[in-house]
Structure formats: structure tokens, C-alpha cells
């Protein structure tokens, strides 16, 4: 019998999960409404939608709208698996760089993991609903490899963002904000892992609790500094006359 780890979602209570989902999906619609559609816009929206999808899947994993918990679990894992390569792609677009091989490698490894979680029998073998979080059962070997995948590409994205920020005065603020957003996944999770090594198996789940920080930075710092406004778009301050 293969050994399994329980990946606990240490994020929030269900009402906070819904609130976080509403914020992230609302930000996605806001970006589409306010900014002209470019490659950068699409990538920002894709990241926000992936963040929101995981929050929705986490909330619904205990049952809802006639879809089994296992389906929600697979959808959630697919969403968060895309976040590292999307970040690397966005960094390169903002900086005006084109490393096709690096981008392709990121998406290819993401596709491999998504295929495994979605299609492989027993990849996510069970879910348990508790008061404030859900538990996903995955194979120990896949959890280790997935953690290396996630941390590896996140560090690549952060390193690229910082490197390119030193070369680009115009987009320095946006690139560093993006790096900070992804560090919001890494640093708190690493701190928790050091305090309690048993949480190493829960890396993807712990990270989700800090995802809203990235969402706010995307909308507040990255988009305003890199994407042109639509001609008829007004800011939220203008709409509500703050």
C-alpha cells in the first residue's frame, strides 16, 4: 500500500474562503473592465482566476452544486499548479524579455502535474471536511516532487523579477511588487515549515492562505504600472467619488 500524506488547508473558515474568492474574482473582472486587453492583462487575469478557483474549490470540497468533492479537489490543484509558470510568463512580458524555452518548460511541467492530479487514479484519493479546513489525501512521493516543482519555479520567478527590475527603471516597481507577491507564498510557508516540519506535506495548502496578498499587489501595483487604461475606464476612486 502506498503511503499517503494529509494535505491540510490551513487557510480560513468557509465564510472567509468565500470572501477571498469574491475579492479575487472581483479583481479579475475589474482588470478586464478597466484595462486594455494585452498579453499582460490576460496573464494578470489568469493568475487572479486561478487564485479564485482554488478558494472556490476549497470551499466546495465538502459538497455543493451536485459536484463531488473529488472533482473540486482536482480543479483546485489544477488551478494552483498553474500559478508558478504564469508568474514567470508575466515577469518576462513586463520586462519585455522572451525566453521561450524557460516559459515552455514551466508550462510543460505544470501540464504534467495537472494531468497527474486530474487523470491518475488515486492521485487525490480522499477528502475530509472539518470545521475550518479540508484534508486532501495524496501519495507521499508525488507530494515531495510537487513541493520541489512549486518552490523551484517560484524561486525562478522571484529571481527573474528582481533581476529584470535592476535593468528596467520604468517597470521596476511593478516587477518588485510581483516578486513580493510571490514571496508572500514562500516566506510564511517556509517559516511554518521550520516551526513544524510536519507541515512540509501541506505546502500547497498553506500557501493558499496568503494568496490574497498577491491579488492585491497585482491590482494595486502591477497592473497600474504596466497596462494602459481603456479610454472610457474610470478608477474606483472616481466611481465612488472618494
pTM metric for this prediction: 0.85
Structural domains in the chain?
4-240 (1.20.1070.10)
Per-residue exposure over 64-99, b if at least 16 CB sit within 10 Å of its own CB, e if not: eeeeebeebbbbbbbbbbbbbbbbbbbbbbbbeeee
Task: Report the distance separating Cα 101 and Cα 209, nearest Å.
Answer: 31
The closest of 50, 11, 8 to 28, measured between CA atoms, is: 50
10-residue averages of pLDDT along the chain (242 residues): 44 71 95 94 97 85 64 82 95 91 95 86 58 51 77 93 92 94 82 69 62 91 90 56 46
Contacts of 134 (CB under 8 A, 6+ apart): 8, 9, 58, 61, 62, 69, 127, 128
Write down the pLDDT at residue 193: 67
Amino acid at each position: 500500500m502506498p503511503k499517503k500524506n494529509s494535505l491540510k488547508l490551513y487557510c480560513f473558515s468557509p465564510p472567509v474562503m468565500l470572501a477571498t474568492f469574491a475579492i479575487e474574482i472581483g479583481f479579475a473582472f475589474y482588470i478586464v473592465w478597466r484595462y486594455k486587453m494585452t498579453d499582460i492583462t490576460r496573464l494578470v487575469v489568469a493568475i487572479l482566476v486561478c487564485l479564485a478557483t482554488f478558494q472556490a474549490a476549497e470551499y466546495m470540497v465538502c459538497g455543493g452544486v451536485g459536484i463531488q468533492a473529488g472533482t473540486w479537489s482536482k480543479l483546485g490543484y489544477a488551478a494552483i499548479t498553474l500559478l508558478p509558470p504564469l508568474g514567470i510568463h508575466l515577469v518576462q512580458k513586463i520586462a519585455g524579455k522572451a525566453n521561450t524555452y524557460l516559459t515552455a518548460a514551466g508550462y510543460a511541467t505544470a501540464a504534467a502535474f495537472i494531468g497527474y492530479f486530474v487523470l491518475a487514479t488515486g492521485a487525490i484519493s480522499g477528502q475530509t471536511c472539518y470545521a475550518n479546513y479540508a484534508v486532501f489525501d495524496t501519495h507521499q512521493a508525488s507530494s515531495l516532487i510537487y513541493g520541489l516543482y512549486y518552490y523551484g519555479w517560484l524561486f525562478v520567478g522571484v529571481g527573474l523579477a528582481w533581476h529584470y527590475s535592476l535593468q528596467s527603471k520604468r517597470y521596476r516597481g511593478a516587477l518588485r511588487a510581483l516578486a513580493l507577491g510571490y514571496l508572500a507564498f514562500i516566506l510564511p510557508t517556509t517559516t511554518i515549515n521550520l516551526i513544524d516540519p510536519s507541515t512540509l506535506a501541506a505546502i500547497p495548502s498553506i500557501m493558499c492562505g496568503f494568496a490574497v496578498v498577491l491579488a492585491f499587489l497585482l491590482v494595486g501595483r502591477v497592473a497600474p504600472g504596466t497596462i494602459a487604461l481603456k479610454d472610457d475606464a474610470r478608477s474606483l476612486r472616481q466611481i465612488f467619488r472618494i
